[in-house]
């Protein structure tokens, strides 16, 4: 039996997130984007309302919710502002490998730091020379007594400028290939950690993206994730099964926002004596946009539901992330088309949404990488 009904609790959570997005996020979206301003005040407000750190277990001060609960909230956040959604979800992505692979002490200390106050954690895997091809990273961590000496440069790290701590992937044994990678929790205040300048990105400018350098950083052995070397690749990749449904929800929220603006405009604007949506070409365009949103949400919810029910969701998360991201690009492009010349102007929100949509096809595994994952999953038992 398939049931798409949200529980009463989930409906209340959705309502809370929707009101929060309407009051605290949407009205600030243009300002944050125009000024490249990090939305700390809104993150603090979300923290206060219990809308942050949803997936962190209650034992560490989190909300102890499931992935489906989380995606319902994340769609609303991205509807309000995609940059806010990305900036606030940095915690979700970074907490995931600690929840699944951290030691009890690491969970208690570092997840606890995220839940006791509005703090940011950042996921530092990508490097200047290695994005899709994670195994090509150059960062190294060499054991020296009771600590590791970490060296390397990370690039495009969401939330880096505000991070309290980082999840960092580095080689402890280069000769062992991806099995020689280990993950570390590195505090931003430690000696040898330095930040690059905030990148000027095409969109989602509320989010803070920058490089992070680690120069002879002394990382205590207690901060080796899971306490075992060689598990870094596994730690870093399993996080995506939990995070990709959320990124797909962000893409769905972007599409929904663009569609709503386009529908409203198509009802207000008249050409050739008719409202825009009375021209069948425009009506069909709007109909296709709506189908793409419904399909994106269905794939997103399925992958989240699988995660919550202990079903391996690597493939369904890749379907959801790839499809919803590609649809967000198509839907926002069509929304600009419905607005005509006004759509091309930053005076109207659809241009900002189109700029915001592009990165959905690039980060957390590009659309090409998602197809590689789907291809690998569908052929592995042949």
Among 131, 180, 232, 245, binds ligand FAD (CB under 6 A): 131
Among 8-16, 35-43, 130-138, 285-293, the segment contacting ligand FAD (CB under 6 A): 130-138
Pairing of strands 140-144, 193-195: unpaired
CB 66, CB 11: distance < 8 Å: no
Whole-number Å distance between alpha carbons of 173 and 229: 9
Note every long-range contact of 309-315, with CB atoms under 8 Å and residues 24 or more positions apart, other chains counting.
Answer: 312/241, 313/241, 313/245, 314/240, 314/241, 314/373, 314/377, 315/373, 315/374, 315/377, 315/378
Closer CB to ligand FAD, 186 or 289, in the complex:
186
What's the token pair of residue 332? 């926002």
Residues 352-371 that bind ligand FAD (CB under 6 A): 359, 362-363, 366, 368-369
Torsion sign over Cα 15, 39, 112, 245: positive
Binding letters toward ligand FAD, positions 104-123, x by CB under 6 A: -------------------x
Pairing of strands 209-220, 193-195: antiparallel
Interface with ligand FAD, residue 209, by CB under 6 A: yes
Closer CB to ligand FAD, 124 or 299, in the complex:
124
Q: What single-letter DSSP state applies at residue 5?
A: P
Among 63, 87, 121, 157, binds ligand FAD (CB under 6 A): 157
Select the residue whose beta carbon is closest to ligand FAD and give its number.
Answer: 131
Interface with ligand FAD, residue 38, by CB under 6 A: no
Q: Give the count of beta carbons closer than 10 Å to the beta carbon of residue 207.
A: 29
Give the binding-site size for ligand FAD (rule: CB under 6 A). 18
Q: What single-letter DSSP state applies at residue 210?
A: E
Interface with ligand FAD, residue 156, by CB under 6 A: yes
- Least spacing, CB of residue 66 vs ligand FAD, in Å: 23
Closer CB to ligand FAD, 244 or 302, in the complex:
244
- Least spacing, CB of residue 158 vs ligand FAD, in Å: 3
Interface with ligand FAD, residue 125, by CB under 6 A: yes
Interface with ligand FAD, residue 201, by CB under 6 A: yes
Closer CB to ligand FAD, 162 or 277, in the complex:
162
Q: What single-letter DSSP state applies at residue 180?
A: G
Which residues have a catalytic role annotated? Answer: 364
Pairing of strands 140-144, 120-124: unpaired
Distance (Å) of CA 349 to CA 60, 73, 81, 334, 339: 39, 21, 10, 13, 10
Residues 314-353 that bind ligand FAD (CB under 6 A): none
Among 11, 35, 132, 271, binds ligand FAD (CB under 6 A): 132
Which residues would be at the binding site for ligand FAD (CB under 6 A)? 123-126, 131-133, 156-158, 201, 209, 359, 362-363, 366, 368-369
């Amino acid at each position: 039996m398939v049931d798409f009904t949200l529980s009463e609790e989930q409906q209340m959570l959705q309502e809370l997130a929707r009101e929060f997005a309407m009051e605290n996020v949407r009205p600030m979206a243009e300002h944050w984007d125009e000024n490249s301003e990090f939305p700390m005040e809104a993150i603090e407000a979300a923290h206060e309302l219990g809308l942050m750190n949803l997936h962190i277990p209650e034992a560490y001060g989190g909300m102890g919710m499931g992935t489906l609960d989380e995606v319902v909230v994340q769609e609303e956040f991205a509807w309000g502002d995609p940059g806010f959604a990305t900036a606030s979800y940095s915690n979700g992505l970074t907490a995931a490998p600690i929840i699944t692979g951290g030691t009890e002490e690491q969970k208690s200390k570092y997840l606890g730091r995220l839940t006791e106050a509005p703090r940011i954690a950042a996921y530092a895997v990508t490097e200047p020379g290695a994005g899709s091809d994670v195994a090509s990273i150059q960062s190294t961590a060499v054991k020296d007594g009771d600590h590791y000496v970490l060296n390397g440069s990370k690039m495009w790290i969401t939330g880096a400028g505000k991070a309290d701590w980082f999840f960092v992937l580095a080689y402890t044994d280069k000769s062992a290939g991806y099995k020689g990678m280990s993950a570390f929790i590195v505090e931003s205040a430690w000696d040898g950690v330095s930040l690059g300048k905030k990148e000027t990105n095409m969109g989602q400018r509320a989010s803070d993206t920058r490089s992070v350098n680690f120069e002879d950083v002394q990382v205590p052995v207690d901060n080796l994730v899971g306490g075992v070397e060689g598990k870094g690749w596994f730690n870093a990749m399993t996080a995506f099964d939990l995070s990709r449904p959320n990124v797909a929800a962000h893409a769905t929220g972007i599409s929904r926002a663009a569609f709503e603006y386009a529908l409203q405009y198509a009802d207000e604007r008249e050409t050739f004596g008719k409202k825009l949506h009375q021209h069948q070409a425009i009506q069909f365009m709007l109909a296709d946009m709506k189908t793409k949103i419904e399909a994106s949400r269905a794939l997103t919810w399925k992958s989240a539901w699988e995660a919550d029910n202990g079903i391996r969701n690597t493939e369904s998360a890749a379907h959801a992330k790839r499809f919803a991201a590609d649809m967000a690009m198509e839907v926002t492009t069509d929304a600009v088309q419905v607005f005509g010349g006004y759509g091309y102007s930053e005076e109207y929100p659809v241009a900002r949404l189109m700029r915001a949509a592009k990165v959905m096809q690039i980060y957390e595994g590009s659309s090409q990488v998602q197809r590689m994952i789907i291809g690998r999953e569908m052929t592995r038992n042949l």
